[in-house]
Amino acid sequence: MKKDEEHRMSFMDLITGATINRGVDRWRATDGAVLIDVRSEEEYGQGHIPGSVNIPLNDIKRVLQEYPEKETPIFVHCLTGSRSGQALSFLKRSGYTKVENIGGITGYKGEVVR
């Protein structure tokens, strides 16, 4: 993945939700991977991907304590991909090596838990 692609999604991905759907598939297929939803607790409660963990962006430092192994595969998402891009930047700066921003749940086509 090119450096610019880490933070940005293509216009078509935003329209089709392709990024998050492919990302959820990769998360499910990756042993030991964690899916982190960085939306607020209220947003998370309105509907989230089964198996995801809610760690709001304003509390992202919790990842350092809850997942201290820097090689843990971490997939992050939010509503549109913006906050998860910020989370990705923080986690990479903190030494995590397998972090991916999969975008926004608005484009998600799978099951949602309320």
Supply the DSSP string of 52-78, one letter for each residue: -EE--GGGTTHHHHH---TTS-EEEEE
Beta strands 34-37; 53-54: pairing state = parallel
Confidence at 2, pLDDT banded by 50, 70, 90? very low
User: What is the structure's pLDDT at 104?
Assistant: 95
User: What is the structure's pLDDT at 17?
Assistant: 53
> For the segment 81-114, what is each residue's pLDDT rounded down to a tens digit?
999 999 999 999 999 999 999 999 999 999 999 9
- List 20, 76, 78, 87, catalytic entry: 78
The Cα 40–Cα 38 span in angstroms is: 7
78 included as an active-site residue:
yes
> For the segment 4-28, what is each residue's pLDDT rounded down to a tens digit?
444 445 555 454 456 899 999 999 9
The verdict on pTM exceeding 0.75 is yes
